[in-house]
Amino acid sequence: DGGITQSPKYLFRKEGQNVTLSCEQNLNHDAMYWYRQDPGQGLRLIYYSQIVNDFQKGDIAEGYSVSREKKESFPLTVTSAQKNPTAFYLCASSISRGPYEQYFGPGTRLTVT
């Protein structure tokens, strides 16, 4: 089965700690994305990657970092610099950057106390 996996489903961290969220896809897609979802708001783009070893900041990149060393993997690190990290994080991919359908993973709910 082709798809996108995210792990873990739930993540709890203490304030001041960095945490890395995993995203893996086996769809052979070039483009991958990280979004943040907060209650009552639309999704907001954190980072995206068009191809391996390339990534670009989205609208809310401050306090986050990513890497794209493999086509299949696009991990997101939430650093201690992110002022309000508690949120639902969604990873997506599309065949390429462009007007193409995006497919989403199941999400990771991060709670920082």
Partner 1 sequence: KQEVTQIPAALSVPEGENLVLNCSFTDSAIYNLQWFRQDPGKGLTSLLLIQSSQREQTSGRLNASLDKSSGRSTLYIAASQPGDSATYLCAGGDSNYQLIWGAGTKLIIKP
Under rule CB under 8 A, residue 2 binds partner 1: no
Amino acid at 99: P
Size of the site for partner 1 (CB under 8 A): 22
Q: Which two tokens stand for residue 44?
A: 């907001």
Under rule CB under 8 A, residue 58 binds partner 1: yes
Instruction: List Cβ neighbours of 69 (8 Å cut-off, separation of 6 or more).
Output: 52, 53
CB of 32 to partner 1, least distance (A): 13
Give the three-class secondary structure for 106. Answer: coil
CB 5 within 8 A of CB 93: no
CB of 57 to partner 1, least distance (A): 11
The β-bridge partners of 56 are 48
Under rule CB under 8 A, residue 79 binds partner 1: no
Helix/strand/coil percent split, the chain, to 5 = 0, 50, 50
Under rule CB under 8 A, residue 43 binds partner 1: yes
Site stretch for partner 1 (CB under 8 A), options 21-29, 61-69, 78-86, 93-101: 93-101
**Cα(67)–Cα(70) distance, integer angstroms:** 9
Touching partner 1, residues 13-32 (CB under 8 A): none
- Positions in the binding site for partner 1 (CB under 8 A): 4, 6, 40-45, 58, 90, 92, 97-99, 101-107, 109
